[in-house]
């Protein structure tokens, strides 16, 4: 059973892990090293692909002065994989670590097995310490690894009567400035932003990420268009402001598999009602983020197309996880399926600060 010092160290390791990037092919991981009296001697976290893993970072922070018999407290099972960096399980063995405490096991078969390797070498290993928090930390990444496709967040904006545009096709702007700024935050938390060719041709979106002052973000997600129609050379998506990938296919499952092969683990879908309906019918939506504006249109296209639902009894019910006011609009975060544990609300948007108009 984990000691109180180990449990406290795990909470610190979780805080460290949360400092890592939410995007990229790797999980967020934190590690705290304790001496034989339960005192912290070093800590580290993974800072993104190509950088040292959390355990290696914590060991490196000791600058070669590594006392024997340490306890390593890690939010994820130490890996056995050699990729851009070496295997963490071997690094811990080489450092003479006596005990390892783990929150969550690694779902990636290419990297898992660290617990078994450590135990076979005589290291004490305890798993499942603050497991729920450890699993929640990397839920999107773990889901992507387990399913072989990215985590899919479907974002849409609509009036209170569910219209995504007016009868004449105009849709800028349904929501206010602060909600549109919040969409840029949401984009920045995903590896890719995806639309269909219909939206790309009709709306000519840029799909880039900008801050509240309208400045381009340092990291831009991959812009993905799915569909067989060609984009004109003058399309905003060809502006070079962010990478662009055009997947000329109508098979959404195959498109997501291709993105997974490119190490895309999270996708934000900003397509129109046809694409949204197709993804939903195929069971490819993991989360819905809806921005509702206090406005009525009475006519115009709906936010989602035909789902093949013919009666109220067959309605697709979602589990509501968060409700947040963003300026004069409301952001709803929900997921398909039965209710589960509700996490803390996402980081609040900058709704209290003056903002400039942004594209949503």
Enumerate the known binding-site residues for substrate: 171, 187, 203, 207, 210, 270
User: Using an 8 Å Cβ cutoff, are 142 and 135 in contact?
Assistant: yes
- The answer to whether the beta carbons of residues 203 and 312 sit under 8 Å apart is no
**DSSP character at residue 95:** T
Catalytically annotated residues: 55
Write down the residue that tokens 């811990």 correspond to: 92
Please report the beta strands in the chain, taking only residues with DSSP state E, as ranges in sequence order. Answer: 30-34, 40-45, 71-76, 99-104, 124-126, 151-159, 192-196, 222-226, 244-247, 266-269, 287-293, 318-326, 329-336
Burial class (CB in 10 A: 0-12, 13-18, 19+), 122: exposed
30 forms beta bridges with 45
Q: Are strands 222-226 and 124-126 parallel, antiparallel or unpaired?
A: unpaired
In this structure, what token pair is assigned to residue 20? 């890592």
β-pair type (71-76, 30-34): antiparallel
Binding site for Zn(2+), residues? 53, 79, 88
CA distance 208 to 265: 18
What is the number of residues in the chain?
360
- Which residues fall in the annotated binding site for NADP(+)? 157, 173, 199, 272-278
The CA-based angle 184-19-81, given to 5 degrees, is 110
Residue 281 CB neighbours (<10 A): 16
Enumerate helices (H) and strands (E) in the chain, giving the number of each.
10, 13
* Contact by Cβ (8 Å): 33, 70: yes
Binding residues: 53, 79, 88, 157, 171, 173, 187, 199, 203, 207, 210, 270, 272-278
Q: How far apart are CA 308 and CA 89, in angstroms?
A: 50
């Amino acid at each position: 059973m984990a000691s109180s010092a180990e449990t406290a160290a795990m909470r610190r390791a979780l805080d460290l892990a949360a400092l890592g990037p939410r995007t990229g092919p790797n999980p967020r991981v934190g590690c705290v090293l304790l001496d034989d009296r339960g005192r912290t001697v070093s800590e580290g976290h993974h800072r993104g692909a190509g950088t040292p893993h959390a355990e290696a970072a914590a060991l490196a922070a000791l600058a070669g002065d590594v006392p024997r018999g340490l306890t390593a407290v890690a939010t994820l099972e130490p890996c056995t994989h050699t990729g851009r960096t070496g295997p963490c399980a071997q690094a811990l063995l080489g450092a003479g670590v006596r005990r390892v405490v783990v929150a969550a096991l690694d779902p990636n078969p290419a990297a898992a097995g660290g617990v078994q390797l450590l135990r076979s070498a005589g290291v004490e290993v305890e798993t499942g310490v603050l497991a729920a928090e450890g699993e929640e930390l990397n839920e999107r990444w773990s889901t992507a690894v387990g399913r072989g496709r990215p985590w899919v967040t479907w974002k849409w904006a609509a009036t209170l009567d569910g219209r995504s545009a007016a009868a004449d096709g105009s849709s800028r702007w349904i929501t206010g400035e602060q909600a549109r700024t919040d969409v840029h935050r949401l984009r920045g938390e995903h590896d890719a932003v995806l639309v269909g060719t219909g939206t790309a041709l009709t709306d000519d979106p840029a799909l880039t990420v900008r801050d509240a002052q309208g400045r381009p973000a340092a990291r831009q997600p991959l812009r993905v268009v799915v569909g067989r129609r060609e984009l004109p050379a003058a399309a905003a998506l060809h502006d070079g402001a962010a990478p662009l990938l055009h997947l000329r296919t109508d098979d959404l499952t195959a498109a997501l598999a291709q993105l997974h092969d490119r190490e895309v683990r999270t996708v934000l879908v900003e397509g129109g009602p046809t694409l949204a309906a197709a993804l939903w019918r195929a069971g490819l939506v993991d989360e819905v983020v809806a921005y509702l504006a206090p406005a009525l249109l009475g006519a115009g296209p709906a936010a989602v197309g035909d789902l093949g639902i013919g009666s109220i009894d067959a309605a697709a019910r979602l589990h509501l996880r968060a409700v947040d006011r963003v300026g004069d609009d409301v952001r709803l975060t929900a997921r398909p399926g039965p209710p589960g544990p509700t996490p803390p609300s996402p980081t609040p948007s900058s709704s209290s600060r003056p903002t400039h108009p942004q594209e949503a």
